[in-house]
Structure 1
Amino acid sequence: MHFTPDHRPPQQPTPLAWHFAFVDRQLLLPEDEGQPLQPGQPTDWPAEAATRHYLGRLQDHDVWTLTLPEVPAGWRRVPLRAAMMQFDAPLLALAGRAAQVLEWDRTHRHCGVCGTPTELQAGERARVCPACGHAAYPRISPAMMALVWRPGELLLARAPHFAPGMYSALAGFVEPGESLEDCVRREVAEEVGVRVKNLRYFGSQSWPFPHSLMVAFTAEWDGGEIVPQPEEIEHAAWYPLDALPGIPPRFSIAGHLIRDWVARLAGEGTP
């Protein structure tokens, strides 16, 4: 399904439209768990939405995101992460986009410079201060992810907030004035105390928790012993390719990164 982004509602809305509706920042899904999210009539949704934004068009249907004060009949609230795990790629990306647009709108109702209430800009997705002119656009925070490897093994770690038994690649936010490559080297050194070389770009994923862009790399171990960073890393270790601990599901880029690199290392030895 092809998605065309736009912030301007069409003059002629489509008869059916996708609606990504949230209550208390949880996504609404059909009450019947066997029924998938699908396009519906705009009149199916209450008119008293606290916030409503147009996102664009998915194939032949408009796409909207909105917040409601309460759950309408026939719907249930689901945490966004759990909901996204049920979607295929197009809806997964749109659910993340919807959540990030609403979060931007919620957190920029007042000017960050002078405190004046902001106004939506007609020509672009922005909230502008009528007093000082400061414009606030949807915020994106770049973060790197690094899967450190050496022949036959991966370095995986778990943070205190991970689900029990879950391990993943290392990750951290990019600091001002830092390149993605510099961030990889710094974060790996800080979190587990090792050096890396031969960085290779793997891919990226929008991650709406709350507004990250995850940029994934693989990195070859270049020396040093694992020393977990206090309070950030609960445990880290080298794991053989055929004896990995629990890893993230494939809906996240971490799940793809680890599985794809295991397959490559197992098939080629040293990439």
Structure 2
Amino acid sequence: MKRETIYKRYKPSFTPNEKNSPSYWFVFNSDKLLINTENEFKIPFTENLNDFSISPVRTQYLGTLQGHPCYTVEAAPGTKAPEGMAFEDLRSIYDVLDEDIYLVAGRAVQVINWDKNHQFCGKCGTPTVTSEHEMAKVCPECGFTSFTRLSPAVITAIVNDDKILLAKHSYGLKRYSLIAGFVEAGETLEEAVQREIAEEVGVKVKNIKYFGSQPWPFPNSLMVGFTAEYNSGEIKVDGNEITDAKWFSAEEVPRMPSKISIASELIDWFVENY
């Protein structure tokens, strides 16, 4: 089931208007998020981050969630988590954090990394300044502007009669999942679907249809989901990214261990309809 838009509760902004208000603090140390590990899994919610003895290297305002300000913070190197808390990898805490908090955390880690990686102009090397009007870094010398980085990727459920094509990847958890890949310069999303499938498993598809999208902060992607019908060709894996691929019926589809990815939604769609 597709989630309700977070924008009913989260309002993005660049300039804080609230003063002395309890805030959500998304504190990162090497891309790991600070959370309370005792009782409920929560992030710091306080007026001042000094309450947690955290020294920020940099901070960016993100907007409000349920009316409360949100900030993303890079902790100083070597920062230790306060007692009862820990820095945890975002992938590992999907099932324990509130969904809204998790979604804003995905935005937060991308914004703080963008801030960290664009301290200097990529064109002339001058120190940049943060724009007051949009999420951008501006060079005061040459005017070159850097926005938050986003790398679109496509992921596709390929159906042949009553079976779905799943492939085993050579990286990550090495489980069977859908074909996915980054969009290359100069191609449409649909062309990226066709190219990735042909490159990785050697088949051609038709009737490509948009399914949905998902922000994917690992590290800065937008996953765009599609469904497609098998057209022609024999399965031939590339042997590099893909080590095996085969057709599965709805009864044979492996269980997905987490609902973190749009891949789970696409596979659930197949199981429910076939």
Shift of 1:39: 5.8
Partner in structure 2 of residue 131 of structure 1: 141
Residue-by-residue CA offset, 1:71-119 (whole Å, 9 max, x unaligned): 3413201111112332343222101000110111111111111122211
Name the aligned partner's letter for residue 65 of structure 1: T
CA contact (8 A) 1:147 1:170 kept: yes
Partner in structure 1 of residue 63 of structure 2: 56
CA contact (8 A) 2:165 2:248 kept: yes
Name the aligned partner's letter for residue 41 of structure 1: T
Indicate the RMSD between aligned Cα atoms, in angstroms: 1.6
CA contact (8 A) 1:48 1:68 kept: yes
Shift of 1:9: 1.2
Residue-by-residue CA offset, 1:209-262 (whole Å, 9 max, x unaligned): 111000000111001111111311121111121012343521211111111221
Shift of 1:162: 2.8
Partner of residue 30 from structure 1, selected from 28, 36, 40: 36
CA contact (8 A) 2:81 2:87 kept: no
User: How do 1:116-195 and structure 2 match up within 5 A?
Assistant: 116-164=126-174, 166-195=175-204
- Give ranges in structure 2 of 5+ residues lacking alignment: 1-7
Shift of 1:35: 1.6
- Give ranges in structure 1 of 5+ residues lacking alignment: 266-271
Partner of residue 41 from structure 1, selected from 31, 42, 46: 46
1:20 partner SS: strand
Partner in structure 2 of residue 86 of structure 1: 96
Structure-2 change in CA distance of 1:103 and 1:149 (3 Å): same
Counting strand residues as a fraction of each chain, which structure ranks higher?
Answer: 2
Q: 2 CA distance for matches of 1:47 and 1:91?
A: 20
Identical counterparts, % of pairs: 39
Q: 1 CA distance for matches of 2:54 and 2:172?
A: 39
1:100 partner SS: helix
Residue-by-residue CA offset, 1:157-190 (whole Å, 9 max, x unaligned): 12111315x2111111111111111111111111
Q: 1 CA distance for matches of 2:253 and 2:94?
A: 25
TM-score, scaled relative to structure 1: 0.91
Q: 2 CA distance for matches of 1:45 and 1:62?
A: 17
Shift of 1:192: 0.4
Partner in structure 2 of residue 269 of structure 1: none
CA contact (8 A) 1:149 1:221 kept: yes
Q: 2 CA distance for matches of 1:30 and 1:130?
A: 40
Partner of residue 9 from structure 2, selected from 2, 5, 26: 2
Q: 2 CA distance for matches of 1:129 and 1:102?
A: 18
Name the aligned partner's letter for residue 28 of structure 2: F
Q: 2 CA distance for matches of 1:252 and 1:14?
A: 37
